Structure 1
Amino acid sequence: MQIVLISGLSGSGKSVALKLLEDLGYYCIDNLPATLLPQTVRLLQNEGHQHVGISVDIRGAQSLPALPDCVADLRERQLDVRVLFLEAKTEALLKRFSETRRRHPLSTRFPDLTVSECIITERETLAEIAGLAHRLDSSDLSANALRAWVRQWLALDQSQLTLIFQSFGFKHGVPLDADFVFDVRCLPNPYYDPALRPLTGRDQAVVDYLEAEALCLGMYDDVRVYLERWLPQFDRDNRSYVTVALGCTGGQHRSVWLAEKLAAHFNTHRQVLIRHREWQDWQEDK
């Protein structure tokens, strides 16, 4: 039996992720109190359900402290339990609440708090759950891109560490879910070549341009050696995911090239995902 627990900040895309699971044939439950998780799973198991998606979030705040123990208990029963935590930058969440004109779930319990204060309170309350989960920053993702990234995550072998290479543009902010951030804005920029400007780091002309530069290959070697040295420590720490974020100015050329090149190297001996945050259409096509 596979159980996918979805949690995270209000407005970060939990409903999109849960609807995707439902479309994939999962039996889905929204807003289940954490204390009911063990008996609910037992009931669904007895009914023969093999794939279950459950949302546990701030709406059941009083029962949230029980979630870590519940997850540990289910895993001791040899169940495949996967936890996904969706988050987003405060400004992105504020924009979404403004556009939908929906109230924050905490505003009923704390009517004197502003939406920003509700988001801060929610982020602090859910911090322990975030530590249990694969974190995914949806700040700059369309609904289609989020669905694609969740699909990728579901397909992973959870028994081994997954190395995620994510390109991004600093002008759009650093990803919240990054474990390591490497700034490659110091490298020569193809943007200033009119012929290369409309291309990306996956186009051969851009690859040739960057790999003709000793600085670019030096950056690649340094990051590769660093990761090869330290990833075994994460293996020993039983980590499930390590996200390596690679940022250039716009997230189009240099960071994309380096993410692709590192992924190609590590994919020969590790489980790897590639995410290009500023180029969501690539992920949607995969």
Structure 2
Amino acid sequence: MRFVIVTGMSGAGKSTALKILEDIGYFCVDNLPVPLIPKLAELIRVPKKGLEKLVLGVDIRSGAHLEEMKQVLKVLDAEEIDCKILYMECKDEVLIKRYKETRRTHPLTGKERVDKGLIEERQKIGFLKERADYVLDTSHMLTRELKEELNQIFVQDKAYNNLYITVLSFGFKYGIPADADLVFDVRFLPNPYYEEELRPLTGSDTAVCDYVMQDGAGEVFLEKLEDLLRFLLPKYVKEGKTQMVIGIGCTGGKHRSVAIAGKLQERLRTCGAYGVRTEHRDVEKDRVTKAG
């Protein structure tokens, strides 16, 4: 029996999460009136009803009834119905951009500014985030990456520490990423830029990666960085952090930083139950600059 409530900020990907869960075999109901939730939950206890895996979408659209969710959760606990809460989180600046791109109206704003609605929404729905078993921050997450994370949690039953890590390669000459939590400089490593046959390639190519790692310094750096992150990441989780951006920088963001970011991602997948992705911010900029 699996009973999941999907909730979170409007625009953070709740509808997409519901579709993904439906595709992997869950019976999904969105925006059910809050007072009816305990009645529906009882059905998953009835044999042969086909509701062994049930997902409910609950969000700010419930209006005044949203406050009743506190009592509903107490009822579910009292009746020993195992209910897991998945909370979809996203940074305000990303949510505002999404609303502008889609030209949608935030449920609480009408003709007012979106940022005002986000503040009010966070206040009203915050109790569900505090109660959540899983928090997924989609600020830097692609749909396929969200699908992978949901598959690990709800199909493979892997442990999940509510921390999603983005390993972001970049070039210092284009500026340090504003949203980076940790930044590491790998300009001490051998630079493929000065090898004519390697210059057009990127750190994702085997030849470039081998060149960067040739003298052993890269491997030592990764070992020490992994040791540091194994210490830090549980501390961030304990403090409630759900999104971590680790910046790996070289001069142009095309060779060394890309190679090390890829290697670091591989290592982080063995560090604990974290979601991990890589993003290469500046890997194409050198090509664009020279073409111009």
Q: Percent identity at matched positions?
A: 28
Residue 274 (structure 1) aligns with: 276
Residue 16 (structure 1) aligns with: 16
Kindly indicate whether the alpha-carbon contact (under 8 Å) linking 1:220 and 1:262 is maintained by their aligned counterparts in 2: no
SS in structure 2 of the partner of residue 10 of structure 1:
coil
Kindly indicate whether the alpha-carbon contact (under 8 Å) linking 1:2 and 1:50 is maintained by their aligned counterparts in 2: yes
2:115 is the counterpart of 1:116: yes
Gaps of 5+ in 1: 176-180, 280-286
Residue 282 (structure 1) aligns with: none
Q: 1:115 to 1:232 in 2, by over 3 A?
A: closer
CA shift at 1:50, angstroms? 0.9
2:202 is the counterpart of 1:199: yes
The number of residue pairs the alignment matches comes to 264
Kindly indicate whether the alpha-carbon contact (under 8 Å) linking 2:164 and 2:276 is maintained by their aligned counterparts in 1: yes
Give the Cα separation in 2 of the matches to 1:26 and 1:208.
45
Equivalent position to 2:227, from 218, 225, 228 = 225
Residue 93 (structure 1) aligns with: 95
Q: 1:70 to 1:221 in 2, by over 3 A?
A: farther
What letter matches 2:4 in structure 1?
V
Residue 179 (structure 2) aligns with: 174
Q: How does 1:246-261 map to 2 (within 5 A)?
A: 246-249=246-249, 252-261=258-267
CA shift at 1:260, angstroms? 1.2
CA shift at 1:200, angstroms? 4.2
What letter matches 2:147 in structure 1?
R
CA shift at 1:253, angstroms? 3.6
Residue 26 (structure 2) aligns with: 26
Residue 150 (structure 1) aligns with: 150
- RMSD of aligned Cα (Å): 4.0
Q: 1:7 to 1:157 in 2, by over 3 A?
A: same
Q: How does 1:25-174 map to 2 (within 5 A)?
A: 25-46=25-46, 47-65=49-67, 67=69, 70-71=72-73, 74=76, 81-108=83-110, 113-131=112-130, 132-157=132-157, 165-169=165-169, 174=179
Kindly indicate whether the alpha-carbon contact (under 8 Å) linking 2:201 and 2:208 is maintained by their aligned counterparts in 1: no
Q: Deviations over 1:226-267 (max 9, x none)?
A: 4545778899x7x99976642225684433321212324x3x
Give the Cα separation in 2 of the matches to 1:116 and 1:35.
30
Q: Deviations over 1:183-222 (max 9, x none)?
A: 2235547684672664345x54454344446664454333
Give the Cα separation in 2 of the matches to 1:233 and 1:21.
30
CA shift at 1:3, angstroms? 1.7
Residue 178 (structure 1) aligns with: none
CA shift at 1:105, angstroms? 0.6
Give the Cα separation in 1 of the matches to 2:16 and 2:4.
14
Give the Cα separation in 2 of the matches to 1:232 and 1:146.
22
SS in structure 2 of the partner of residue 45 of structure 1:
coil
CA shift at 1:15, angstroms? 1.0
What letter matches 2:38 in structure 1?
P
What letter matches 1:224 in structure 2?
E
Larger Rg: 2
CA shift at 1:272, angstroms? 5.5
Q: 1:96 to 1:232 in 2, by over 3 A?
A: closer
What letter matches 1:54 in structure 2?
L
Give the Cα separation in 2 of the matches to 1:72 and 1:159.
25
Kindly indicate whether the alpha-carbon contact (under 8 Å) linking 2:163 and 2:242 is maintained by their aligned counterparts in 1: yes
